[in-house]
Amino acid sequence: MSRVSQLYDLQETDSEIMVRETALGNIEARLGESDDILSARQVLAEDRERAAALEPVQRDHEWQIDDFKTKISAVETKMYSGSVLSSRELTNLQEEVEALKRGQSRIDDALLVVLEQLEGLQISIRVQQSKLSQMEVEWDEEQQRLNAEKAKVNSELDRYKVRRSGQSSLVDPRDLSLYQSLIKGRGGRAVARVERNGCQGCRISIPLYQVQRARSGNEVVQCPSCERILYVN
């Protein structure tokens, strides 16, 4: 195998390594908690807190309504017991009953508002919980798939790294040093094919004498424009 062929094969292996390292980065970015799930949990928790805060308000209103009913019943019992003989006292009792009923009506209205709010929150909580459960199921399935894909890519990456180690050990150290310096500054492509007398790295025409020199593969010839190592298959 010629010197340039060795470098070209090494570059193909490096390209495979880069593809898998990029794939691993993408997989890693998608592993772990989902922002959508975290957001859904937060919204659900906030609605549950609001519902929990309304429950004691509901109980307090219900207690007040029971208290009003007890007081109204006591006054009405007195009114109709026959023990009240004064018309003035009877009028006072009637006014007291009306005042108690107005107070109860206000609390009834307040309780209705609280119950409506609670009902809305409870419906929202059920819907959110259902959606969250489905999101968590789908997330779990995706995490399993991503972990399996990660293991597969890691296995492939290890295999290509072993191949690269063997390939690089056969390359002349000076050629390897040139290759390493070029690949960093040339978008991961240190070796460029020559097709129709043109460098496929920069699309510039190569003088014929340089194409002839590069054709043997035993001499490292660089593109006069982009400086990539020229490879003639």
Could you state, in order of their start, the residue ranges of all structural domains in the chain?
Answer: 31-170, 173-231
Query: For residue 84, what pLDDT is reported?
Result: 87
Please give the model's pTM, rounded to 2 decimal places.
0.70
Query: For residue 191, what pLDDT is reported?
Result: 98
Phi-psi region of 34 (alpha: psi -120 to 50; beta: other; left: phi over 0): beta
Question: For every one of its 233 residues, what pLDDT tens digit does the chain have, with 9 covering 90 and above?
Answer: 899 999 999 999 999 999 999 999 999 999 998 999 999 999 999 999 999 999 999 999 999 999 999 999 999 999 999 898 899 999 999 999 999 999 999 999 999 999 999 999 999 999 999 999 999 999 999 999 999 999 999 999 999 999 999 999 999 999 999 999 999 989 899 999 999 999 999 999 999 999 999 999 899 999 999 999 999 98
Query: For residue 195, what pLDDT is reported?
Result: 96
**H helical segments located in the chain:** 3-30, 35-79, 87-170, 173-185, 208-215
Amino acid at 166: G
Query: For residue 33, what pLDDT is reported?
Result: 87
Q: Which residues pair with 193 in a beta bridge?
A: 231
The answer to whether the beta carbons of residues 125 and 47 sit under 8 Å apart is: yes
Each residue of 60-110: pLDDT tens digit?
A: 999 999 999 999 999 999 999 989 889 999 999 999 999 999 999 999 999
Phi-psi region of 196 (alpha: psi -120 to 50; beta: other; left: phi over 0): left
Which class is domain 31-170? mainly alpha
Could you give the C-alpha distances from 186 to 8, 122, 192, 226, in angstroms and in order?
Answer: 14, 60, 10, 8
Query: For residue 128, what pLDDT is reported?
Result: 97
Concatenated DSSP letters of 219-233 = S--B-TTT-PEEE--
For residue 69, give every residue at least 6 positions away whose Cβ sits within 8 Å of its Cβ, in sequence order, or none.
104
Sheet containing 191-195, strands listed edge to edge, beginning at the edge strand earlier in sequence:
198-199, 191-195, 229-231
CA distance 200 to 190: 11
Query: For residue 221, what pLDDT is reported?
Result: 97
Q: Which two tokens stand for residue 211?
A: 């194409």
Q: How many residues in total does the chain contain?
A: 233
